[in-house]
Structure 1
Amino acid sequence: MKFAPMNYHYLRYSLKKFLDKVEQSVFNSIDLYCSAPQFNIFDYSLFSLLELEKEIRRRDLSVMAMTPENCTYPVNFCTQDRGTRESSIRYYQRAIDTAEFLGCHKVQISTGFGYFDQSPEDAWKYCRDSLQQLGAYCEKKNVELMLEELKVTTTNVLIKSSDLKRMIEETGSSHIHGMVDLDQMTYAEESIDDYMDNLGAQLVHVHFNDRGHTVPGDGDYPMKKYYKDLKRRGYEGTISFEICDRRYYCDPDKVIDDITEWLRNNTTELS
């Protein structure tokens, strides 16, 4: 398995601070969370993109995965509102272009939602149609989409691993795969085995975070068991740490140190 930190908890700092810390750590790649003011997928200049690429390469780092903001911004490719849906597709198209430029082959995409007072079947159809368009674009760009489920409080489209399986099959795209966020998984009362059983080789990425998107060991999830379950099922894909809780905003460097310590104490990955 290949591990990488994400810069979500560095939102109050420049990307350079994050890159400096990763350069000094045991990691050699990143999961690039794209959000203003650090790096806004909606509207960055070519100069900004060139500068970002230079800063990453200067530190001998690579971009393992890219995570555009999926939830805070008006991004929703499943909605019944056509204008929002089409602008969201353009947003992800730009994210795919960005990933290609940075030499990144994986872009995370979270399901949107349909109006909760309207037919969920319509939202499912729009989700599938949007993904089919993006999958065709990915094929030309040599980029893979990593499709993520969300909680029932957030979406009425993709909630469980079986939903991911069905959607991936219906898109018919060889460039759309599944991923699991351990916080979403546990909230839905599912397990690593559920994801492996439903997705198998189509499971290509993991957000390895404790309850509430906290550092492994800071919550009450059985994180060591989750790691062992992934190993037992032969998972060899990529793993990143999506640490979102605001308690970490004041001292983001410590998060990477704490993740490293947890890996050393509970896994053999850093041996």
Structure 2
Amino acid sequence: MAKFANMNFHYQRYPFDYFLDSTVRLGMQAVELWGGAPHVYVDDASHEDILSMRREMKRRDLELVCFTPEQCIYPINLSAKDDTLRRRSIEYFKTCIGVTNTLETSLMLVTVGYGFYNEPAEEAWARGLESLQILAKEAEEQGVVLALEPMSKMGSNLITDLKTLKRMYAEVNSPALKVLMDTIPMTLGGDSIEAYGEAFGNDLAHIHFLDGDGKTSAHLGWGMGVFPLESFAESLAAIGYDKYLTLELIGPQYNWEPEQFTRSSLDRLSEVFGTITAR
């Protein structure tokens, strides 16, 4: 049975408890926690806040499969040329590693950011590599695994496809660094689920599983795009992937009725995967 996790990004206009209760109503048993306001922005959250969130998830028997700190917008960028910005970004992620530990999950998503588009790409690459090596050492010491996610070329000029992801993964060379596949940059980069499985094996630690339009970075609910769900399901089976698939719906169209759109995605997924809820 395929395992799907709900994510709170498209629930950001509702309280955190509403997201958890909605996940239970949907029959799902796992969540991925986006670390952004108003739910849990780590620079504003106290230790007791984090412990309370952990208790609320456990009270509902929800498994936390990944902590995903907000990192795709200013002022977080591990490859920034400005030393102050880059140092602040590193310290921010170190704090996030500690939060991941407190939440009692072992996986935390990280992206490398981007460099200036008019500077030599290798200069930004070197800065991102150094930042990730620092964070991988911190993660290893705290028993946390970093899941490195590529972005589309609309969001980065560094890790945007399987080739660049493989290179950074190899150069960091840490047991605390694994990889995350998102079906949007995977498709836009011209890659495949089988290629990811062949490249990383069990180090493919997590997947964001979305429909898309094949042209932009839109993270769509299933049935709202053009991705070949049946083919994707066959590919997941072919590589033996048995971890969670997160529904990371992104877009203002989902914010009004997040539960409705999640349910619609689950309905479409059940047509291909069969029974996908366990409650």
TM-score bracket relative to the smaller structure: over 0.9
Matches within 5 A, 1:10-159: 10-159=11-160
Match of 2:268 among 245, 251, 262: 262
State the secondary structure of the residue aligned to 1:243. coil
Q: CA deviation at 1:85?
A: 0.8
Match of 2:237 among 231, 244, 248: 231
CA distance in 1, matches of 2:81, 2:262: 40
State the secondary structure of the residue aligned to 1:23. helix
State the secondary structure of the residue aligned to 2:86. helix
Instruction: Name the amino acid aligned to 1:223.
Output: L
Q: Which runs of no fewer than 5 residues in structure 1 stay unpaired?
A: none
Q: CA deviation at 1:255?
A: 2.2
Contact persistence 2:148–2:180 (CA under 8 A):
yes
Instruction: Name the amino acid aligned to 1:75.
Output: I
Matches within 5 A, 1:184-223: 184-211=185-212, 212-223=218-229
Instruction: Name the amino acid aligned to 1:22.
Output: T
**Cα deviation code 1:125-147 (max 9, x no counterpart):** 11111111111111121111110
Contact persistence 2:3–2:276 (CA under 8 A):
no
- Give the aligned partner of residue 215 of structure 2: none
- Give the aligned partner of residue 9 of structure 1: 10
Contact persistence 1:26–1:260 (CA under 8 A):
no
CA distance in 2, matches of 1:200, 1:52: 32
CA distance in 2, matches of 1:2, 1:73: 33
CA distance in 1, matches of 2:46, 2:25: 28
Match of 1:242 among 244, 248, 252: 248
* Structural RMSD (CA): 1.5
Instruction: Name the amino acid aligned to 1:52.
Output: M
CA distance in 1, matches of 2:203, 2:167: 12
Q: CA deviation at 1:269?
A: 5.2
Contact persistence 1:179–1:206 (CA under 8 A):
yes
Instruction: Name the amino acid aligned to 1:80.
Output: K
State the secondary structure of the residue aligned to 1:124. helix
Q: CA deviation at 1:78?
A: 0.9
Q: TM-score, normalised by structure 1?
A: 0.95
Contact persistence 2:166–2:199 (CA under 8 A):
yes
After the TM superposition, list the runs of 4 or more consecutive aligned residues in structure 1 that deviate by more than 4 angstroms: none
Instruction: Name the amino acid aligned to 2:119.
Output: Q
Q: Aligned pairs, how many? A: 271
State the secondary structure of the residue aligned to 1:44. coil
- Give the aligned partner of residue 174 of structure 2: 173
- What's the % identity of the aligned pairs? 30
State the secondary structure of the residue aligned to 1:164. helix
Q: Which runs of no fewer than 5 residues in structure 2 stay unpaired?
A: 213-217
Contact persistence 2:51–2:102 (CA under 8 A):
no
**Cα deviation code 1:14-49 (max 9, x no counterpart):** 111000111223221100011012111222122322
CA distance in 2, matches of 1:191, 1:151: 14
Q: TM-score, normalised by structure 2?
A: 0.92
Moved more, 19-28 or 141-150: 19-28
CA distance in 2, matches of 1:110, 1:83: 18
Instruction: Name the amino acid aligned to 1:50.
Output: L
CA distance in 2, matches of 1:157, 1:166: 11
Instruction: Name the amino acid aligned to 1:160.
Output: D
Instruction: Name the amino acid aligned to 2:157.
Output: N
